[in-house]
């Protein structure tokens, strides 16, 4: 049971830590995004939306 | 089991990470660039990363969260359904304002930003709550 709790906690910490560099980069940006940067952001978002983390239970169950 | 916080050290680490995610400082905007636009673009990106971090953690523990935190799982599922549209609309609104710089587009942009900020705020709250079961 405790192993499960610790693994859950580690997973949460890991996921939060993964996002930090991207958040810090966005927060430090002092200029408006260029069209290339906008396209890069769109691509990053599209990739995330297609990942399992952004899939609903139903989508995962249907293999979508 | 439901009230245990397994490790104070890990809790401290997580709290620090979440605080950083929630309130990292922003650099000043360079001359010639609109602070409104730069902050709007930062808001969309930071909110997106916060929501993605939450959904990734929830996905790693999907069965457990659905069983022990049904409200959090319901929020995750709703965000998976509505989030992509919310972020796409926020991006579109920022870009429309970037071109026009009109008050009308500014109002639309602020409304769309408020939506993604709200998602990010809840995502951060739930990220903390998952680890304090």
* pLDDT tens by residue, B1-43: 333 444 455 555 555 565 555 555 567 899 999 999 999 999 9
Distance CA B57, CA B66 (A): 12
User: Does A4 contact chain B (CB < 8 Å)?
Assistant: yes
Q: Is B107 a residue whose pLDDT tops 80?
A: yes
State the average pLDDT over residues A9-25.
77
Assess whether pLDDT exceeds 80 at residue A1: no
Per-residue pLDDT, B1: 35
Q: Tell whether A42 is within 8 A of chain B (Cβ).
A: yes
Q: Is A29 touching B (CB cutoff 8 A)?
A: yes
Q: How many Cβ pairs within 8 Å bridge chains A and B? A: 144
CB contact under 8 A, B52 and A54: yes
Please tell me if residue A36 touches chain B, with a CB cutoff of 8 Å. no
The average confidence (pLDDT) of chain A is: 86
- Residue B64 and residue B66: Cα distance in Å, rounded? 5
B31-42 burial by CB neighbour count: b if 16+ within 10 A, else e?
eeeeebbbebbb
On chain A, the residues whose CB falls within 8 A of the CB of B27 are 27-30
């Amino acid at each position: 049971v405790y192993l499960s709790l610790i693994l859950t906690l580690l997973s949460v910490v890991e996921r939060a830590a993964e996002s930090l560099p991207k958040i810090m980069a966005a927060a430090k940006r002092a200029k408006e995004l260029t069209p290339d940067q906008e396209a890069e952001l769109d691509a990053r978002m599209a990739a995330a939306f297609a990942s399992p983390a952004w899939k609903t239970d139903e989508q995962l169950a249907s293999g979508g | 089991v439901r009230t245990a916080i397994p490790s104070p050290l890990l809790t401290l680490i997580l709290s620090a990470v979440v605080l950083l995610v929630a309130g990292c400082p922003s650099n000043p905007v360079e001359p010639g660039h609109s602070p409104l636009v730069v902050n709007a673009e930062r808001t969309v990106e930071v909110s997106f990363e916060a929501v993605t971090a939450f959904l990734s953690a929830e996905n790693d523990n999907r069965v457990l969260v659905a069983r022990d935190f049904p409200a959090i799982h319901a929020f995750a599922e709703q965000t998976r359904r509505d989030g992509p549209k919310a972020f796409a609309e926020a991006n579109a609104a920022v870009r429309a304002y970037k071109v026009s710089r009109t008050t009308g587009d500014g109002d639309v942009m602020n409304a769309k930003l408020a939506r993604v900020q709200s998602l990010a705020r809840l995502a951060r709250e739930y990220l903390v709550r998952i680890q304090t079961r």
